[in-house]
A = this chain, B = another copy of it.
Amino acid sequence: MKQIRMIDIKQQILSDNDNLANEIRDTLKENDVFMVNIMSSPGAGKTTLLLETIRRLKNEMRIGVIEGDIESMVDAKKITESGALAVQIRTGGDCHLDAPMVQPAIEMLDLNTVDTLFLENIGNLVCPAEFDTGAMRKVMLLSVPEGDDKVLKYPLMFTVCDALIITKVDCMGMFDFDAETLRKRVKAINPKIKIIMLCSKTGENMDEWINWLKNQREMCLTK
């Protein structure tokens, strides 16, 4: 009985969330703002990838970052220092970002001052996959040290994302990571996903990521 009540509430919350996410997406589109939801395990390199992305793109577009964290503002400080706009969401325990958390953060930003907005989600390969935040694209990072078997264990995240960025490829060989095995496993559950292997620190394949982002921005805002 309690179980059924829980499910009803969860469905209601997910449905309210989806409606609000659609409203957020419409508002962003009207204001010509492209929003990307960046998800991964803790420590896979979300902030490092964003800092390098900002460095490469800041002369051609204005970038904003909504930082999701349970506690602390360390990442928001780094983003601000890089020259991008940053807004911090402190969830105070919650394990994911959802549309009701993202909406006030967007209201705090002047959408006329931003072209591309990144949402740095809580480091968690499970719960964030369930929630539409209003972003136009979902991107996940998987770092080489995590291993090539993660798609078997956390399939939903790999299923919902438009792109999989494999990070820290400079330490391939030190860890149990077979890129071809991973690619087959991922494509089996999500054939359309774009897979990019890169290293934010050395810059390897960063161009592929930047070009993908620019193309997606174009596609989402001109449709």
Which residues of B lie under 8 Å from residue A124 when comparing CB positions? 95, 124-127
Contact A42 B74 (CB under 8 A): no
Chain B residues with Cβ below 8 Å from A153 are 42, 69-72, 74, 123
Q: Is the CB of A156 within 8 A of B42?
A: no
Q: Are B72 and A152 in contact (CB under 8 A)?
A: yes
Measured between beta carbons, the chain B residues less than 8 angstroms from A122 are 126
Is A149 interfacial (CB-CB < 8 Å)?
Answer: yes
Whose C-beta in chain B lies nearest to the C-beta of A167?
A: B145
Please give the count of copies of this chain that the complex contains.
Answer: 2
Say if the beta carbon of A25 comes within 8 Å of chain B: no
A85-126 contacts to B, CB under 8 A, are 93, 95, 122-126
A168: interface (CB < 8 Å): yes
Nearest CB of B to A175, in Å: 8
Select the residue from A13, A41, A168 with max chain B CB neighbours within 10 A.
A41
* CA gap between A155 and B122 in the complex, in Å: 13
**Can you list, as one digit per residue, whether each of A1-30 has a CB less than 8 Å from chain B (1) or not (0)?**
010011001001100000000000000000
CA distance A6 to B12 in the complex (A): 11
Give me 6 A-to-B residue pairs in the complex whose CB atoms sit less than 8 angstroms apart, sorted by A's number: A5-B9, A70-B153, A72-B149, A93-B156, A123-B153, A126-B127
**Given contact pairs A42-B125, A72-B152, a sample of 14 additional A-B residue pairs in the complex whose CB atoms are under 8 Å apart:** A2-B9, A2-B13, A9-B9, A71-B153, A71-B155, A72-B149, A74-B152, A123-B154, A124-B124, A127-B127, A143-B145, A145-B168, A145-B171, A171-B171
